[in-house]
Structures are given as structure tokens and as C-alpha cells.
Amino acid sequence: MLTLKKELPFTEQEILDFLENTRTPFYVYDEAGIRNRIKKLKEAFSWANFKEYFAVKATPNPFILQITKEEGCGVDCSSMAELVLAQKAGFKNEDILFTSNDTPLSEYEKALSLNAVLNLDDIGHINILKERLYLPELVSIRYNPGGDFGNEIIGNLEESKFGVPKSDLIKGYKLLQKHGVKKFGLHAMLVSNELNPRNIIMVAKFLFNTAFEIKKELGIDLDFIDLGGGFGIPYKPDEEELDIYYISQEIKKLYEEILINNGLNPPKIYMEHGRYISGPNGYLVTKVFHIKDSFKKYVGIDANSANLLRPAMYKAYHHITVLNKKFEDENETYDVVGSLCENNDKLAVDRALPKLESGDILVFHDVGAHGHSMGFNYNGKLRSAEYLFTSDRKFKMIRRAETIDDYFSTLNF
């Protein structure tokens, strides 16, 4: 079967010229693509008091964060390093949303020093903050209602370590009221990489109904409702892109019907996408080392699962473009593998590709989120460089590749 094509933001000649003086593997991100995704998201939800908080965990690089800042985004942080990165990128106050779990006190202290919005994963943390630090004027709680919202990745939420059940949600808001908190947020992350609009709309309906119940029971008008991230991207070329304008209009109807028509003060709408923004705009460029023909045909490349973990961890599919070769001419079926001492170090399995040989250049698509950021150093593998393909069509280094000296720098010989 003919493999459908995915487009690249640069021409084959542009990347081949760049490769003449650049060592593979490396990541490259499309600046124009990232900006356009943010503009599209903001345009779709322009009817609301809307803010996108880019999920730092997806692509934790200051150049990427600066782009999101210039486009009016805040940042969603989940650790000390992400808070520091946000601070260094110039974010502060309510432009930082701190959603963590199993959180050390030092990280709360850092978040409070930046006047970030705290989104609590456990109501047990309320008294800890009250006794050891302080509670700010605005606090949010992460809600886990249990059940299944039809999402294959998250599945049954009762198996999730994140968020609090309904009874704790109500207890938490009561406790925050008692301690003098004046403004409240509601957060939930109930779907991930979702391509079914119905499931995304269902999440919004559920959270709006929850907000109405909170108003009836506690008299609280929420300052914001954070619908989480979860918008999916079409990793496979035959998958369809989400129609976020349709999704937005359906959510708008629910917002008006459940919240406005029942007299609630209109809450802000927050989202915290990473994958939707940077995912389709990142590429891993790698070179073929060896072709091995044994029980199967194996393509050995200079990247491995330490560079791109998702296929080994999630069985994730990433489309592959082979530069200067057409699938129609001659093709073979390969496992595309790295050099790690693990048999799951396979970036593609039983993949039909143009007939390959040593020196060919492969480009993995849709790796701009949770790609480089999930890298590691097993077998002493070094983290690769990152480049930005700028709006003026230049390749700009935004992270150098690790060296052997970097790898040994924390050891005491």
C-alpha cells in the first residue's frame, strides 16, 4: 500500500545544505508553524476570556518559550527546573500555572516567589501551605472524577495518580474558603492526544456542570476553568486534523447554556497544550549507519530511543520521510533501530520505506513535543542538539549537543 506523504517546512535542498556542516542526529523546530498553531487556537476561542498555557514539559527550551510568550501564552510548569526556565524566559505572576504532584515544599516556595497560580493535586497540601508557607489569593484544584471519558491513552481515571475525587474537591474549596482564599480555579486533564471532537466537548460539558454544582453548594464563582490540554495531532498521514473551530463553537454553546444562562459570573477559559502547538512542528533528523538482513531487515540509524523514547515507551507511530527518495520507485519493509542494548530500541517496526542504504537521511515527523525532552543517557548516549528553523528560513542552534565531557561532569574519579 502506498504510504501517504507528510510535508516538511524546509525543502530537501535546504536541509541537505545544512547537513553538509552539521552532525546528526538533531532536532529542528519550525518557528512559523509554532506561531501559526498558537494564533489558530487563540482565534478559535476568541469568544472567551481565553488563555493558553504552553506545557513546558513538552519542549523545555527558552527559545521555544520565548516564541509562545511573544504570541501571548502563559506557561504550565510542573517542577523546579520548569519554574526556573519560565522565570528565565521572562514569565511571572498569573502567566505561570504550577500544576505538580507529590510536590516538594521548595517547589511551592519557588512558585509562590514568582506569584504563580497554584493548581493543587492533593487537598492535603492546603494545610501544609498554610502552616509552612502561605496561601495566595487565588488557588486552583485539580479534579479527577474517575470513570472513562473515552480516551485510549488515559483510560479509567480511577487508575490515575492525578487529581482529587469529587468529595475532596468540595472539601478542598471549603478549606480554602476557611483559610481566606478569595479566588478559585478548577482544573482537569481528562483526555490526551484526543482526535475525537466529541470527547473533548464532553470534558468541557462535564467541567461546566461541575462549576455550576460548586456555585450552588458553596456560592463560589470560579475565576477560571482549565480544560487541560489533550488536543490530539494526526501522527499518521491518513488521520484527520482536529477542527478546533467546530470544537470551540460547541464549547461556547455549553458555556452559555450551563454557566451564563444560570447566572454564574463568566469564568476565564484556560488550556495547557504542548503537543498541539509544538508536536507537529518538530523533526528528528538522523542518518542511516547500517543495513542488517537477518530474520528481518533492520535499518541501523545514528539516533536511538535515548533520542526519541515515544516509540519504545508508547508504541507511538512517527512518520518517516527519506530525503531524495520516492516510495513509489522501490521499497522494502524494515525495523528502524538504534544502538541501545535493549531490544525495544526500535523507532519504527515493519515500516515500508524506500529502499535504504548507508548514508541516507531520515526525518521523523511530529516529534516537537515529548521528543527531546524525554531523552536520556543510557549506554552513555549523548543528548542531541536542537535547532530552530526560523521564520526567515535559517537554521539557528538553540541547544548544543552534549559532549563526552558533559556526560562525565557529575562524576568524581
The pLDDT value recorded for residue 329 is 72
Which pLDDT score is estimated for 268? 98
What domains can be seen in the chain, in order of their start residue?
A: 12-28+279-408 (2.40.37.10), 31-275 (3.20.20.10)
User: Mean pLDDT, to the nearest integer, of 78-91?
Assistant: 98
Identify the pLDDT of residue 1: 36
Mean pLDDT (the chain, rounded):
96
Task: Please check the confidence at residue 244 and state whether its pLDDT lies above 60.
Answer: yes
Q: pLDDT grade, residue 326 (50/70/90)?
A: confident
Instruction: Give me the mean pLDDT over the 214-230 stretch.
Output: 97
Q: Does residue 73 have an active-site annotation?
A: no
pLDDT at 62 exceeding the cut of 80: yes
**Alpha helix segments (H runs only) across 20-141:** 31-44, 62-70, 80-88, 105-113, 124-132
On the question of pLDDT at 4 being above 80, the answer is no
**Percent of the chain at pLDDT above 70?**
99
From the candidates 1, 2, 341, 411, give the one annotated as an active-site residue.
Answer: 341
pLDDT for res 152: 82
Residue 143 has pLDDT above 70, yes or no: yes
Mean of pLDDT values over 297-318: 97
pTM: 0.95
Residue 2 has a pLDDT of 41
Q: For residue 52, report the phi and psi dihedrals to the nearest 5 degrees.
A: -95, 130
pLDDT recorded at residue 171: 97
Residue with grid cell 521555544, as numbered in its chain? 64
Average pLDDT (310-315) is 95
Q: What are phi and psi of 218, to 5 degrees?
A: -120, -10
DSSP 123-164: THHHHHHHHHS---SEEEEEB---SB-S-TTT-BGGG--SSB
Instruction: Please state at what angle helix 197-218 crosses helix 244-254, rounded to 10 degrees.
Output: 20
Residue 74 has a pLDDT of 98
Look at the block and give the residue holding cell 508508547: 314
